[in-house]
Amino acid sequence: MDNYEYTQLLKNLENKIENIESILKPIEIKARLKEIETLESNPNFWNDTNQATLIGKEKNRLLGRLNKFNKAFEAINDAKELYEMALEENDEDTIEQLFNDAQILNELIKQTEIEVMLSNPEDGANAIVTIHPGAGGTESCDWASMLYRMYLRWAERKGFKVEVLDYQPGDEAGIKDVSFIINGINAYGYLKVENGIHRLVRISPFDSNAKRHTSFCSVMVSPEIDDNIDIIIEDKDIRIDTYRASGAGGQHVNKTESAIRITHIPTNIVVQCQNDRSQHKNKASAMKMLKSRLYELELEKQMADKNGIEKSEIGWGHQVRSYVLQPYKQIKDSRSGIGYSNVDAILDGDLDKVLEDVLIAQSK
């Protein structure tokens, strides 16, 4: 790195900080924090435990964002001032150190940028993920299992916990359907960009002629909603079916119709759960999935109204990412337009950069 490159980097990062400030609105955050302090100083405030808890969460969320912004803002100003002083005094050692720290500074601003993009209340929620293979039989079922493993490995890298809600193995290999919750801070905020169709191109391990095959899987991601969000589902709007669980489970699988499938008639959303031996628990989990899907659907409609566009359901044409393993190796995201050559690492859960690039692209 030379003086020109570092100067350009500082200019670029200053522009990013200005954009972050315009979105985050730190002055409004400070005003809201003062309002919360006034509320907390009232003895009656603590009488309503639920309300106090909600406001406490809001306070912590606002303080966290404000502190991260202040840290990034100060880091840029300190680097700029130090660089100008070093140039005036011809201090080569300090300039060299600033060049060496440039990547750290760049990463700090990027992480602050990501934090701002995950500022919606639902972004901090756990993520409910459903993977469903498209047409293509065993080949698509195998692709579904590859995606499932990718998300499990990503969750493991982040230190997140995974709870399986529904798992239906394929007839020969792979997965017919799988639903699971990833529990962790900002799990939904990151994974919401995975909503859509994922396309795989490769030499099929199930084709004796070693021909290239194209497979599709749909991935649906919803925020796990808490009890403070009231989603009303009327009995007349749902159809509940029970059936015998499939897969591992021994005699229980053959004897008990514990698996639950719920169809929401107005939206045609279908959720199912068979993870627990208790039909009651499976029904509760399925209702949680349905409420989360309905909540996510409402969020999409609100966003569409805000942007002045018509909300359309995800279809097979809504392809978000292509994973090409043959004749070359590349993963390309249709939203960010960026291609990645580290295919094996991404399929092994190294997803952060891919997700962050999409979040940045969608914020522009």
pLDDT in tens, 24-62: 889 999 999 999 999 999 988 888 888 888 898 889 888
Q: In the prediction, which pLDDT does 348 show?
A: 96
* Count of helices and strands (H, E) across the chain: 11, 11
| pLDDT level of residue 299 (50, 70, 90 thresholds) | confident
- Provide, rounded to the nearest whole percent, the portion of the chain with pLDDT above 70: 90
pLDDT at residue 16 is higher than 80: yes
| Residues linked to residue 340 through DSSP beta bridges, in sequence order | 331
Q: In the prediction, which pLDDT does 315 show?
A: 41
Number of other residues whose CB lies within 10 A of the CB of residue 254: 9
Average pLDDT (258-276) is 85
Length of the chain in terms of residues written = 364
Phi and psi at 249, nearest 5°, equal 155, -5
Q: Higher-confidence residue: 312 or 255? A: 255
196-203/319-324 β-pairing: parallel
Average pLDDT (295-300) is 78
Q: Which of 138-142, 204-208, 297-301 has the highest mean pLDDT?
A: 138-142
Distance CA 127, CA 183 (A): 7
| pLDDT level of residue 343 (50, 70, 90 thresholds) | very high
C-alpha triplet 189, 193, 194: angle, nearest 5°? 115
Q: In the prediction, which pLDDT does 260 show?
A: 87
Report the range of poorest mean pLDDT among 158-167, 171-180, 219-228, 342-351: 219-228
Report the range of poorest mean pLDDT among 86-90, 215-219, 237-241, 295-299: 295-299
How far is C-alpha 301 from the geometric centre of its chain's CA atoms? Answer: 18
Report the range of poorest mean pLDDT among 58-72, 76-90, 140-154: 58-72
The 10s digit of each residue's pLDDT in 144-154 is 999 999 999 99
Q: Is residue 64 a contact partner of residue 105, using CB atoms and an 8 Å limit?
A: no
The 10s digit of each residue's pLDDT in 94-121 is 999 999 999 999 989 988 888 777 877 7
Report the chain's mean pLDDT, rounded to a whole number. Answer: 85
C-alpha triplet 74, 77, 79: angle, nearest 5°? 105
Phi and psi at 233, nearest 5°, equal -120, 115
| pLDDT level of residue 311 (50, 70, 90 thresholds) | very low
Q: In the prediction, which pLDDT does 251 show?
A: 41
End-to-end, the C-alpha distance of the chain in Å comes to 28
Residue 208's alpha-carbon distances to 122, 135, 146, 170, in angstroms, are: 47, 20, 21, 20
Q: In the prediction, which pLDDT does 228 show?
A: 58
Residue with tokens 């099929």: 204
Distance CA 331, CA 354 (A): 9
Number of other residues whose CB lies within 10 A of the CB of residue 102: 17
DSSP states along 36-82: HHHHHTSGGGGGSHHHHHHHHHHHHHHHHHHHHHHHHHHHHHHHHHH
If DSSP codes are grouped into helix, strand and coil, which group holds residue 331? strand
Ramachandran sector of residue 210 (left: φ over 0; alpha: ψ -120 to 50; beta: rest): left
Average pLDDT (275-280) is 79
| pLDDT level of residue 83 (50, 70, 90 thresholds) | very high
| pLDDT level of residue 250 (50, 70, 90 thresholds) | very low
Structure tokens at 325: 């393993």
Q: Is residue 211 a contact partner of residue 202, using CB atoms and an 8 Å limit?
A: no
